[in-house]
Structure 1
Amino acid sequence: MNEQEVGMALVIELRRGVSALRTGRKAGPSPATGMLERMVVDDEFWTALARLGRHRLPTLSDVDAYGDTTLRGEAVDRMVGELEGANLAQLNSAEHEAIATLWAWGLRCRADRDLRIAFSGD
């Protein structure tokens, strides 16, 4: 964890973009777009990265503490793969909840390519 990241609030959202593919969609209402789920984290995100080893989680380590970062497609695939190898048992409950939520969202993004994970820094 960098010193500038201590006390940095981070808003993380699971979002759905508008699909570029319109053909072959089943009849019925279109899926909701925009923000689907949201969590706001403080130090627990950064301390979790430090405990798990930033070098083991390069995708999450690249999240901009001060700006916006969006993960979709291959970036989400990388994040999920990195988290599959992580030992979440070493995290406290708040850290575990934040990282486990990201992992679950990543799995949803893998199954539905219109989903993305957006990080907004302080």
Structure 2
Amino acid sequence: MDKIVVFKVFYNPIEANIVKSRLIDAGIQCFLSDEHTITLNPLYTQALGGVKLHLFQRDAAMAGSILEETIPAIEESGEGDGEYVCPNCGSHHVGYVQATKKRFSILTMFVSILFMVTRLM
């Protein structure tokens, strides 16, 4: 019977779930403990020792190598400014989603102030 070990400890349940999903996608069976308790009350993080990622001892070396891999997200062009490239297909038509783009303008500021003034009345 294979031994189950604590492979890694996280203080953020979201980060723990991202790593868990990456390992499951690679075919490594794993699970988290203390995740729900820390999600409900983050002050218990220190008392419980964080969210623990468990897996079989035989998969520990492979999991470590998978987590060390980095996916190149930016390909350097000749001018020195980066261009985003899809790691799966190599497409150069990749960009940030709408919410992360800078959308500040004078019109946005004016409309925001207008709504604030009408709300105060």
If the TM-score is normalised by the length of the shorter chain, which range does it land in? under 0.3
| Alignment TM-score, normalising by the size of structure 2 | 0.24
Structure scoring higher RCO (CA < 8 A, sep ≥ 6) equals 1
